[in-house]
Amino acid sequence: MSKALFIIDVQNDFTEGGALGVEGGAAVAEGVSALLAKHPDVYDHVFASRDWHDADNDNGGHFSENPDFVDTWPRHCVAESPGSDYHPALDFEKVTVHVRKGQGVPAYSIFEGTTDDGASVADKLEELGVLDIDVVGIATDHCVRASALGALEHGRHVRVFTDLIAGVGAESSEAALAELGHAGAEIVTSEALLSDESDDNS
Q: Would you state the torsion angle of the CA atoms of residues 119, 107, 44, 90, taken in this order, to the nearest 10 degrees?
A: 120
The pTM of this model reads 0.95
Parallel/antiparallel/unpaired status of strands 97-101 and 114-115: antiparallel
- pLDDT at position 195 is 78
Catalytic residue among 51, 91, 101, 141: 101
pLDDT tens for 135-151 read 999 999 999 999 999 99
**Annotation says 3 is catalytic:** no
- pLDDT at position 200 is 66
For 5: left if phi > 0, alpha if psi spans -120 to 50, otherwise beta; the answer is: beta
CATH superfamily of 2-176+189-201: Isochorismatase-like (3.40.50.850)
CA–CA separation, 55 vs 77, rounded Å? 9
Contact 187, 162 (CB under 8 A): yes
| SS3 call for 100 | strand
- Domain locations along the chain: 2-176+189-201
Residue-level length of the chain: 202
- pLDDT at position 196 is 79
pLDDT at 133 over 90: yes
pLDDT tens for 16-25 read 999 999 999 9
pLDDT tens for 29-75 read 999 999 999 999 999 999 999 999 999 999 999 999 999 998 999 99
**Annotation says 94 is catalytic:** no
pLDDT tens for 80-101 read 999 999 999 999 999 999 999 9
**Annotation says 38 is catalytic:** no
Name the DSSP class of 190. T
Q: With bands split at pLDDT 50, 70 and 90, how would you rate the model's confidence at 159?
A: very high
> What are the beta bridge partners of residue 157?
132
Assign 3-state DSSP to the chain and report helix, strand, coil percentages, each to 5: 35, 25, 40
